[in-house]
Amino acid sequence: MRVPLEWLKDFVDVRVKPERLSHLLTMAGLEVERIERVGTDTIFEIGLTPNRADCLSIMGVAREIAALTGAKLKLPVFKAPRGSGKMASAARIAVKHPRQCPRYTARVIEGVKISSSPGWIVKRLADFGVRSINNVVDATNYVMLETGQPLHAFDLRFLRGGRIVVQKAGKELSFGTLDGVERNLLEDDLLICDGEGPVALAGVMGGDNSEVRQSTTSVLLESAFFEPTSIRRTSRRLGATSESSRRFERGVDPNGTLAALHRLTQVILDTAGGTPTADWVDIYPKKVFPKRVALAETEVERILGMKVGVKKSAEILSRLCFAARSSRGKISVSVPTFRPDILRPIDLIEEIARVAGYDSIPESMPVARIAPLVRPRFLKEEELSREALVGAGLTEAVIYGFTSAESLEPFAGTTSGEVGITNPLSAEQGVMRTTLLPGLLDALKLNASRQCTDCRLFALARVYSRPMSIGPSEEPRHVAGVMAGRRFPSGWERSREPLDFYDAKGVVETLFDALGVGRLAIFQRGEAGSFLHPGSFAYVICGGKRIGFVGQLHPDVCARWEQEREIFVFELKFEQLAELATAEAPRFSELSRYPFVQRDLAVVVPDRIPAVEVEKVIFDAGVDIVSSVRIFDVYRGNGVAQGHKSLGLSLILARNDRTLTDEETEAAQEKVVDALKQKLGAVLRT
Amino acid sequence: MKERLLQEIAEIKAEAEGELKSLADAAAAEACRVKYLGRKGRVTSILKLLSGLDQESRPAVGREINILKSMLEGELREVSEKLKKTEQGASLAAHRLDITLPGRRVKAGHRHPLMKVMREVVEIFTDMGFSVHTGPEIESDYYNFEALGVPPDHPARDMQDTFYVDGNRLLRTHTSPVQIHVMEAHKPPIFAVFPGAVYRRDNDVTHSPMFHQVEGLVVDRHITMGDLKGILSTFCRKMFGGRLKVRFRPSYFPFTEPSAEVDIQCVMCDGTGCRICKGSGWLEILGCGMVDPVVFEAVKIDSRRYSGFAFGMGVERIAMLKYAIGDIRFFFENDMRFLEQF
């Protein structure tokens, strides 16, 4: 809200410099976001919090300044201008729904002359950021900005039957507001009607049918108090907000209604002439009285951690125009009706604290009993995993929780029950992700489009699915990665080698080792989901459960992200992985004190036989001294028959209790080779 | 005989000394040693002649030979060692690497700056004895708004434009609902922080539809606004530097009262006023306040016996200030050139 200093000076003696005033206001909760100099005037741009409806006016801010600086407040009492003729013969007013409209005041002025406003009104409106229209409309705006009371002027000619009825729409209907928009109203919307239909959306906006215009000579002035919730509901639903609705929905002073009407009448008489009726209408069946709140001194200290004292507290509240009396550790407060936000003792404590200054509260540290800390499940494993993946060369990405339904489509086989967003910003953000891959692929694509083709990214984050029953949604974590480009992009040897399946698998293995579940993981061939390369992917089985996959992305899916190159991906269910990590501490096995024997051999086997099977045959050959098998070479080509491969195997033979003899190792090797021959048709290569 | 031998010894000596001076390399030194001291060497052969000499002259001649022998041995050792050193030096000198080429390794990746900052924030609080809790991102209206003192049609709903999932469920607009979950599940004392992703319908240079918050809650007997100031000032100093000025300024949140914004002295200009702090010298860092009795009521904690404070901060904002990043969208693009800087 823009507040000109010169205007403020109508109501309060400002003695401090603008910078000092700005600081005082800011430190009392009326944040001055900007100070602007316009000619000799200074305009404060104040960011008001929604609770301070009372400060949506020059007089309200003046009141606050008086309380903060101790300056003299000069709020005028607006007297009713004299007039002639009976209001009853000029117009008849009725309120059908007093709960939505607790107070309605009105008066008629005849013989006004519509023209432009005097320069000082135009300037003040402009300083505030309101456009000048004509003298009558400007007067309603001017008095609203001054007092905080929204006001409206109707052209009496267009009030059919010379009547005003405040009532709910009662049915769905359409109504044109003066901003030129045709609005669809619902039964509950509160309207100002004339004898035949709506002439204004109560508290929000006038209708174009009864607008004051150049030819207007008689006006009916409205100053009312509408119930905040009803105004807010209508204005929100219609997307129709105005200076008026902004004030009503935050709460105006029900006891300031009439004074504002008098002030408005006077300003119109001063700027447009005319004769008001001798009396006015004031429908106010249930008067709102100031609330009484009692506050114990001990409460102030318990919340703020400092003693303020009843005397000082009462003095602060009095400065804010509260009627406060203190007696024996207690303050009895009568809250003025322009402060609807103050209802409870805690509200008063806040007033005391902010006027005394938060700076005056001494800093302290809480005194607490020591208790074991609670951490979210798997927080530690999450950190371990992130660090392991970074160590394995992947960079962490943060991706949006939502994505497009289209981008999830290729992966739909792996998930179900997407959560859609009913009001997304765009279709690209229409559903909550069920897999992390689309987000990671988006990032990969973006990098490729910016000439970065060596890209390895991971994310460890939630995915979302609809819960099976009512209750919190299911948001399990996944850990996923995408990799494309060269294997050693920053190296100077082998720098042209591209990444392949084994690089991605290696990353997954590194992750498993970091979590201590390396021995529990099995990579298994299977029916590929349609988004993976059928020959170059593996399901990851951990602890007997399928927890994810690693492999090459199907070229069709790559094409969706406009990538022609090979992309390798993995995605694992993190909770299941972490659960295994925490399941069991490793058990120590005794170290051998005797030397081992290493035997290297090369065997030729058919291509289709997986390495793991070769290992299995060796371990199952009935030789108990084989302590490990390592494949150190895989060779196809010259010297090896088509459809076959040569495997270089390194056997480690050992016993824990003694040194092996030559005969033993010889026999063991023979047995192993025999088993390979018989079970796999292997041929020893010499 | 004796004279002849002595003369020969002198000749060998002169000859060997000459040769020793002109030895070119370790191999020549070895050849020289063989020539004189080897099994068939000249010194060795002359020593053999000693037995043909008469008793008296033997010691004198023998002594001369031994002197020659040890002289030659010593000189040869010295010379050949010197030569070996030179040769090794030359050979080492010839083997010269370009040590400016990079080392061989799998280049490590990088942590995302948001995750780094979030961890840092959380650690400052866990170091002070706070627990950590998380909660669902898809929340009910009740936990996100109503239990926090924001009924339907409350003006405070304007402060946060919400994504809805269905009639009653939404993407949480702040991590505050975790407060409610925690207070429902745990009895005071509660000292906890809640990190996580949150969502609002906003998208520009400083707003992202998804962003991150760390929220905190303290509930116990005798918790005061002084404690709030103590804990949060400590946080600001640990996060941004020890001598930093911190100020608490009244504000409004529906679920705290009294409420405050915490400003720190601008980290870019040290409080003198710049573009980042819009000339004010202060940067808004977090919102906080004493837990409103309405909230305690919703979770059945007696607000006459217990008091507490809550606070919340945007991780993106802190990261933007910490690393001088001007546009929030960098965090979610995942451009490698950006990520590799952290």
pLDDT in tens, B274-304: 888 888 889 999 999 999 999 999 899 999 9
Give mean pLDDT, residues B224-230. Answer: 97
In sequence order, the 6+-apart residues with CB closer than 8 A to the CB of A154 are A164, A199, A200, A206, A210, A212, A219, A220, A222
Cα dihedral B231, B232, B238, B242 in deg (nearest 10):
-100
CA A228 to mean position of chain CA atoms: 26
What CA–CA distance (Å, rounded) separates B224 from A462? 36
Pairing of the two strands A477-484 and A281-283? unpaired
Least confident of A527-531, A634-638, B10-14, B108-112: A527-531
pLDDT at position A416 over 70: no
Token pair 């290493």 is found at A598
What CA–CA distance (Å, rounded) separates A26 from A48? 10
Q: Who among A366, A422, A429 is closest to B227 (CB)?
A: A366
The DSSP letter of residue A642 is: T
ipTM of the complex: 0.88
B80 touching chain A per CB within 8 A: no
The DSSP letter of residue A670 is: H
In Å, how far are A5, A42, A454, B112 from A39, measured between CA atoms? 12, 8, 59, 49
Give mean pLDDT, residues B257-276. Answer: 88
The Cα of B200 is separated from the nearest Cα of chain A by a number of Å equal to 10
Give mean pLDDT, residues A315-333. Answer: 92
pLDDT at position A415 over 80: no
pLDDT digits (tens, 9 = 90+) for A501-525: 999 999 999 999 999 888 888 999 8
What CA–CA distance (Å, rounded) separates B171 from B198? 7
pLDDT digits (tens, 9 = 90+) for A54-112: 999 999 999 999 999 989 999 999 999 999 999 999 999 999 999 999 999 999 999 99
Return the bridge partners of A174, or none: A184
CA A574 to mean position of chain CA atoms: 26
Q: Which residue of A has its CA nearest to B126?
A: A373
Q: Which residue of A has its CA nearest to B161?
A: A423
Contact B265, B245 (CB under 8 A): yes
pLDDT digits (tens, 9 = 90+) for A580-633: 887 777 788 888 899 999 999 999 999 999 999 999 999 999 889 999 999 999
pLDDT at position A573 over 60: yes
In sequence order, the 6+-apart residues with CB closer than 8 A to the CB of A416 are A434, A465
Contact A611, A635 (CB under 8 A): no
Cis-peptide, bond into residue B189, ω within 30° of zero: yes
Return the bridge partners of A611, or none: none
What CA–CA distance (Å, rounded) separates A340 from A290? 9
The DSSP letter of residue B278 is: T
Residues of B in contact with A473 (CB under 8 A): 136-138, 169
Strands of B126-166, DSSP E: 131-132, 138-140
A368 touching chain B per CB within 8 A: yes
B244 touching chain A per CB within 8 A: no
Return the bridge partners of A569, or none: A482, A551
Probe site for chain B from A382, A389, A395 (most B CB atoms < 10 A): A395
The Cα of A244 is separated from the nearest Cα of chain B by a number of Å equal to 14
What CA–CA distance (Å, rounded) separates B231 from B130? 11
Probe site for chain B from A19, A48, A303, A313 (most B CB atoms < 10 A): A303
pLDDT at B203: 85
3-state secondary structure A564-608: CCCCEEEEEEHHHHHHHHHHCCCCCCCCCCCCCEEEEEEEEEECC
The Cα of A671 is separated from the nearest Cα of chain B by a number of Å equal to 40
Cis-peptide, bond into residue B293, ω within 30° of zero: no
Contact A200, A220 (CB under 8 A): no
Q: Which two tokens stand for residue B313?
A: 């901060």
If we measure between CA atoms, which residue out of B246, B172, B68 comes closest to residue A358?
B246
Interface of A with B in 222-241 (CB under 8 A): 228-229, 232-233, 236
If we measure between CA atoms, which residue out of A417, A80, A62 comes closest to residue A276?
A80
Contact A625, A660 (CB under 8 A): yes
Q: Which two tokens stand for residue A533?
A: 């390369």
pLDDT at B253: 92
pLDDT at A328: 85
In sequence order, the 6+-apart residues with CB closer than 8 A to the CB of A644 are A604, A605, A606, A607, A636
pLDDT digits (tens, 9 = 90+) for A430-451: 999 999 999 999 999 999 999 9
What CA–CA distance (Å, rounded) separates A191 from A165? 8
B306 touching chain A per CB within 8 A: no
pLDDT class for A469, splitting at 50, 70, 90?
low
pLDDT at A101: 96
pLDDT at A183: 92
Most confident stretch, A491-495, B14-18, B163-167, B287-291: B287-291
B69 touching chain A per CB within 8 A: no
The Cα of A124 is separated from the nearest Cα of chain B by a number of Å equal to 26
pLDDT digits (tens, 9 = 90+) for A162-191: 999 999 998 999 999 888 899 999 999 999
If we measure between CA atoms, which residue out of A225, A331, A319, A221 comes closest to residue A277?
A221
pLDDT at B340: 95
CA B283 to mean position of chain CA atoms: 28
pLDDT digits (tens, 9 = 90+) for A185-222: 999 999 999 999 999 999 999 998 899 999 999 999 99
Interface of A with B in 475-534 (CB under 8 A): 475, 489-493
What CA–CA distance (Å, rounded) separates B291 from A291? 23
Least confident of A647-651, B22-26, B197-201: B22-26
As a whole-number percent, the residues of chain A with pLDDT over 90 amount to 81
Is residue A130 within a helix (H) or strand (E), and if so which, with residue range? none
The Cα of B270 is separated from the nearest Cα of chain A by a number of Å equal to 18
End-to-end, the C-alpha distance of chain B in Å comes to 92
Probe site for chain B from A54, A308, A361, A497 (most B CB atoms < 10 A): A361
pLDDT at A346: 97
What percentage of chain A's residues is helix, strand, coil (to nearest 5)?
35, 25, 40
A124 touching chain B per CB within 8 A: no
The Cα of A489 is separated from the nearest Cα of chain B by a number of Å equal to 9
In Å, how far are A395, A677, B7, B296, B323 from A643, measured between CA atoms? 39, 17, 84, 74, 57
pLDDT digits (tens, 9 = 90+) for B169-207: 899 999 999 999 999 999 999 999 999 999 999 888 888
pLDDT at position A335 over 80: yes
Is residue B149 within a helix (H) or strand (E), and if so which, with residue range? none
